[in-house]
Amino acid sequence: MLALGRRLHERGHDVCIETWLRWKDDVEAAGMRFSAAPEYPVFPQLGKEPLKPYEAAQRAALDTVPLVDDFAPDVVVADILTLGPALAAELRGVPVATLIPHVDPRTEPDWPPFSSGARPARTALGRAGWRAMGRLVGRALDHGRDELNDVRAHVGLPPLSHHHGGISRDLVLVGSVPQLAYPRPAPLPGTHTVGPFVWQPPADDVPLPPGDAPLVLVAPSTSQDPGGLLLRAALQGLADAPVRVLAAQNRVSAEDAARLGPIDVPHNALLVPWVSYGQTMPLADVVVCHAGHGTLLRALAAGKPVVAVPATGDMYENAARLAWSGAGIRLPRRLAGARAMRTAVLTAIQDPSYGARAREIAAWVAAGDGTDRGAPLVEALAARGRN
């Protein structure tokens, strides 16, 4: 959102970002207006009764209406998980676009469930199996649609008959790349895959391990791997390999650092608290990560093959699509020991097909990122709303 807002501001538009207070300085430094988003407890907290997600969306919608009235936007762009501003805009007749900062979660009838880590079947029998599973998923989607329609009724909006009602039918910006998108029989209404939305705060330079051997960047998700399984496996497995290793702990908290305990760092590696991906990924030969979409796209946009060890949720989906694209290797977490990590990393470096496919993706991104392709689409929707 910061990347898209900044680009729209550079193109001469007044932009207001409604988000949490932690981003206030960055929003205003980029010349945009900041508005504090309403924050509600949706997880159990001491002394606070959490709201159900749709209860929070209902309150957020009504609390955001005054901002829509005050700022009087020509268009509202809401991310896929933020229903409140989208509902508030709809209440005031303002066009709404949805930003999906990862691969599109909407599946086809004969695809596996999203985030399962499975890939579409290649046989008629396999497709029939996924269609049967899809009927169970459809029941869950029906339930979600009913809950959303309850919210819409409470705020004064008519019900919807389709699934994924939180996604705009007018404009959807998918912040991914087409090389990670399974082929569909027909395009989804108003949907455009525009590339990654890249924004990063200023960062200090990070030293690199000495030498000229291939550089392996280890970029784990500490929130999803508090025990440091990926970090330890990479450092141990690559200890005597003909590579250099730059590994980041990604600013772990004092509690997490104590839980991790001492980490053995081999002679060919450098362990640092944090790295700037924008600085280091272009210098790497391969990136090892958990396949969070942001990290994965940063690596592919730099033309680097990836070894992905998914930890949870959509990481399984991202890793499956990475392997399907040919731009990297998926290593299941249960198998991600030192020996398997070494084999996967050296294969990604030595097999030229992985790097070639990653460079194809990088070339697509270089022709225009999410803001290059997305900003004109947002402008066009705003213009349609004014006419």
Residue 320 lies in a domain: yes
- Shared domain for 68 and 6, answered yes or no, is yes
- Shared domain for 69 and 190, answered yes or no, is yes
Q: How far apart are CA 286 and CA 35, in angstroms?
A: 40
How do strand 96-100 and strand 171-174 relate by DSSP bridges? parallel
**Structural domain boundaries enclosing 373:** 2-106+164-198+369-386
- Shared domain for 331 and 362, answered yes or no, is yes
- Shared domain for 261 and 242, answered yes or no, is yes
Residue 60 lies in a domain: yes
140-151-51 Cα angle (round to 5): 85
- Shared domain for 308 and 258, answered yes or no, is yes
CATH number of residue 45's parent domain: 3.40.50.2000
β-bridge partners, 272: 248
User: For residue 1, which of 80, 57, 103 has the smallest C-alpha distance?
Assistant: 80
- Shared domain for 193 and 102, answered yes or no, is yes
Residue 137 lies in a domain: no
Residue 358 lies in a domain: yes
Measured CA to CA in angstroms, residue 330 lies from 223, 296, 310, 351 at distances of 20, 12, 8, 15
User: For residue 195, which of 222, 170, 177 has the smallest C-alpha distance?
Assistant: 177
pLDDT of residue 359: 98
pLDDT of residue 56: 84
Digit-by-digit pLDDT tens for the chain (387 residues) are 999 999 999 999 999 999 999 999 999 999 999 999 987 766 555 556 677 767 888 999 999 999 999 999 999 999 998 999 999 999 999 999 999 999 999 999 999 999 999 999 999 999 999 999 988 999 999 999 999 999 999 999 999 999 999 999 999 999 999 999 999 999 999 999 999 998 877 777 888 999 999 999 999 886 777 778 899 999 999 999 999 999 988 665 556 666 666 788 999 999 988 888 889 999 999 999 999 999 999 999 999 999 999 988 899 999 999 999 999 999 998 888 999 999 999 999 999 999 999 999 999 999 999 999 999 999 999 999 777
- Shared domain for 226 and 335, answered yes or no, is yes
pTM (predicted TM-score): 0.91
- Shared domain for 80 and 189, answered yes or no, is yes
Residues whose CB falls within 8 Å of the CB of residue 58, separated by 6 or more in sequence, listed in order = 151, 154, 155
What is the 8-class DSSP label of residue 178?
Answer: G
Q: How far apart are CA 372 and CA 197, in angstroms?
A: 9
246 — alpha (psi -120 to 50), left (phi > 0) or beta? Answer: beta
User: For residue 61, which of 148, 178, 125, 136 has the smallest C-alpha distance?
Assistant: 148
pLDDT of residue 213: 96
Helix axes 2-10, 370-386, angle to 10 degrees: 70
Q: Is 320 in contact with 118 (CB distance < 8 Å)?
A: yes
- Shared domain for 83 and 25, answered yes or no, is yes
pLDDT of residue 226: 73
Residue 142 lies in a domain: no
User: For residue 359, which of 304, 318, 298, 297 has the smallest C-alpha distance?
Assistant: 304
Residue 311 lies in a domain: yes
Residue 186 lies in a domain: yes
- Shared domain for 190 and 328, answered yes or no, is no
Domain count, the chain: 2
Residue 128 lies in a domain: no
- Shared domain for 174 and 269, answered yes or no, is no
Q: How far apart are CA 25 and CA 32, in angstroms?
A: 10
**Phi then psi dihedrals of residue 193, to 5 deg:** -85, 115
- Shared domain for 345 and 291, answered yes or no, is yes
